């Protein structure tokens, strides 16, 4: 006999752009939103009864409706507004999960002056949030950044590792260290300044990566996480996933050339994969 297990449904990849007009400048945001609902939906699966289904197209429209009314200054605040609206207007929904990814648009600087209404995309990274709440519960919010692509050309080494009969890797005392990091953090504070916390964490991560004398990706990951905890007492822990995107020294000896750490071959497959959570 079959029975229905855990289930949820919703709308994914709802895209929207928002202009907030101030007197002398504009703010611009570009978001991709996912909404997932859990609740009293068993009969729609088992009895072909659609009477409790909120159409996913309606969810899409709800994203735009709430965004139009929203005063949220951060994706975290917007995710909670959207989730609260869906819970309060749908008694059959027991839990809502909202994920938002924001592109990193920033105001353009031209001839040393900030352009009030012109923007450029800063980089490939996305600001992220995953927020969830049960109908009578508190919000769980996990913020982050995805695709934080950074590289340093020195202050990175890798020596002293295990060597067995299959080891071909040569020790390196001055190598390129590149990564495309995914970072998430959760909060110890119930009502933090999300935008301020995010800015401090990212600044701390970048500052530590640049200054750090790395003996391995693991070594740098931990110290970056520690720096983020120090910069943001509002968070409880931070998780970093840092693929080691290799740049291999090109062999120019067949051409009669030396290669004193000058020409490299960048590869992203296969790559090392390092991840860890740093906690207080």
Would residue 226 show up in a list of annotated catalytic residues for this protein? no
Catalytic residue among 60, 80, 212, 246: 246
Would residue 11 show up in a list of annotated catalytic residues for this protein? yes
**Which residues are registered as beta bridge partners of 185?**
143, 238
Phi, psi of 176 (to 5 degrees): -75, 140
Specify whether the CB–CB gap between 255 and 202 falls below 8 A.
Answer: no
Q: List all residues 6 or more positions away from 241 whose beta carbon is below 8 Å from its beta carbon.
A: 181, 182, 183, 273, 274, 275
Write out the E strands in 63-176.
Answer: 93-110, 113-134, 140-152
C-alpha distances (whole Å) from 247 to each of 19, 139, 147, 236 are 40, 42, 18, 34
Would residue 246 show up in a list of annotated catalytic residues for this protein? yes
Burial class (CB in 10 A: 0-12, 13-18, 19+), 146: middle
Residues in the chain: 280
Distance CA 177, CA 19 (A): 38
Catalytic residue among 32, 43, 56, 58: 56
**Which residues are registered as beta bridge partners of 152?**
177
Widest pairwise Cα distance in the chain: 76
Distance CA 29, CA 16 (A): 8
Name the residues annotated as catalytic. Answer: 11, 56, 246
């Amino acid at each position: 006999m079959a029975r229905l297990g855990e289930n949820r449904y919703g709308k994914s990849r709802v895209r929207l752009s928002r202009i907030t007009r101030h007197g002398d400048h504009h703010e611009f945001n570009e978001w991709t939103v996912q909404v997932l609902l859990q609740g009293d939906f068993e009969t729609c699966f088992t009895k072909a009864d659609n009477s409790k289904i909120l159409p996913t197209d309606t969810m899409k429209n709800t994203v735009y409706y709430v965004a139009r009314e929203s005063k949220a200054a951060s994706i975290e605040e917007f995710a909670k507004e959207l989730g609260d609206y869906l819970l309060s207007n749908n008694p059959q929904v027991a839990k809502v999960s909202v994920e938002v990814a924001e592109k990193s648009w920033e105001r353009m600087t031209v001839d040393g002056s900030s352009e009030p209404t012109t923007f450029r995309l800063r980089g490939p990274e996305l600001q992220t949030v995953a927020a969830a709440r049960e109908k009578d519960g508190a919000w769980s919010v996990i913020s982050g950044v995805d695709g934080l692509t950074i590289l340093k050309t020195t202050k990175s080494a890798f020596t002293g590792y295990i060597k067995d009969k299959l080891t071909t890797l040569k020790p390196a005392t001055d190598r390129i260290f590149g990564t495309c990091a995914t970072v998430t953090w959760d909060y110890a504070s119930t009502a933090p300044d999300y935008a301020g916390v995010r800015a401090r964490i990212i600044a701390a991560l970048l500052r530590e990566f640049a200054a750090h004398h790395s003996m391995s990706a693991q070594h740098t990951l931990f110290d970056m996480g520690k720096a983020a905890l120090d910069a943001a007492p509002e968070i409880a822990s931070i998780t970093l996933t840092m693929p080691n995107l290799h740049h291999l020294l090109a062999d120019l000896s067949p051409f009669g050339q030396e290669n004193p750490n000058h020409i490299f071959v960048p590869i992203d497959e296969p790559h090392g994969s390092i991840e860890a959570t740093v906690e207080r």
